[in-house]
Amino acid sequence: MSETRVLIVDDEPLARDVIRYLLAGVEGMTVAGECRNGVEAVNAVHALHPDLVFLDIQMPDLDGFGVLRALLPNCPPAVVLVTAYDEFAVQAFEAEALDFLVKPFTDERFHRALDRARKQSDTRREADDLSQRLTAALDRLRSADAAAHPVYRTRLLVSSGRRSVSIPVASVTWIAADDYYARLHLTDASYLLRRPLAVLEQELDPGQFIRVHRGALVNLSHVRELQRGPDGKPVILLMDGTRLTVSERRRAGVLRAFAGVAATPTRR
């Protein structure tokens, strides 16, 4: 069996560890390199010429789709996309006979994807055809379906110690900016997500999450009431007692979102 050189691309260290561990148990598989973002991935493909790439979709700066476009029209390697998207997006791509791994995936699903990818990477022509169809499917999904049916995240994958935890978006009460990360606040816990708040805001349903100031997104379903602070600025009170002041810049948007909700003066 010929050697298959693999490049692993994911901004989550734990996700890279899982793929590397599974590849270690397969004969003829060699990890040629690992990348933390899309820019590193494009450079690594040009430098290492891997046969197969496990490519995460959601990454800062340059996402997985941006990586694929950067590699075309040259003949890129075979690609297995790794994603936390819901079943709608998965089915759209699988209709084009392309492979997806949805986090968290089972060992069986991983090996099935690997077997398909190895068969499709036997020749450079097959690999080129795979990526061309992937890009075509992406264009159709974004141009035709995304406008009418935007695909927003329903779950977020975070690291907790040595585990990978899938968090339902609906359980997140609010999200705080933490340098280049985002801090997810739940009723009884908080998790650090390796994604800037501005990027995460684009991935969440704007009808569910609203920006109240530069460093915070609030889940509207967890809001108890909208108050008026001593200085006259709106203050959001969450079900768990958290209070967040609305910035002047975000004031109009927040008031529109809470149209019909009476402001309650703060008790002194």
AA identity, residue 101:
L
Domain boundary among 148, 172, 207: 148
Query: Within the chain, how many helices (H) and strands (E) appear?
Result: 9, 16
Same domain, 142 and 181: no
Distance between CA atoms of residues 23 and 30, nearest Å: 8
Domain boundary among 103, 127, 148: 148
φ and ψ of 101, to 5 deg: -120, 120
Q: State residue 123's pLDDT score.
A: 53
φ and ψ of 75, to 5 deg: -80, 105
- Find all residues with CB under 8 Å of 2, minimum gap 6, and list them: 28
Q: What CA–CA distances, in Å, run from 204 to 199, 208, 209, 234, 235? A: 9, 8, 7, 23, 22
Distance between CA atoms of residues 181 and 60, nearest Å: 10
Same domain, 136 and 93: yes
- Find all residues with CB under 8 Å of 114, minimum gap 6, and list them: 22, 23, 26, 29, 80
Same domain, 50 and 111: yes
The model's confidence at residue 175, banded by pLDDT at 50, 70 and 90, is very high
Total domains in the fold of the chain = 2
Distance between CA atoms of residues 35 and 55, nearest Å: 9
- Picking from 103, 149, 148, 118, the residue whose alpha carbon sits closest to that of residue 53 is 118
The model's confidence at residue 121, banded by pLDDT at 50, 70 and 90, is low
Domain of 190: which CATH number? Answer: 2.40.50.1020
Q: State residue 169's pLDDT score.
A: 93
Q: Residue 208 belongs to what domain range?
A: 155-265
Same domain, 132 and 166: no
Domain of 46: which CATH number? Answer: 3.40.50.2300
Residue count of the chain: 268
Most confident of 85-99, 120-134, 177-191: 177-191
Q: State residue 147's pLDDT score.
A: 57
Distance between CA atoms of residues 141 and 6, nearest Å: 27
Domain boundary among 119, 148, 177: 148
pLDDT tens column, 4-55: 899 999 999 999 999 999 999 899 899 999 999 999 999 999 999 898 999 8
What integer best gives the mean pLDDT of the chain? 80
Where helices occur in the chain by DSSP H, the ranges are 13-24, 38-48, 64-71, 87-94, 107-120, 124-140, 146-148, 197-203, 251-257
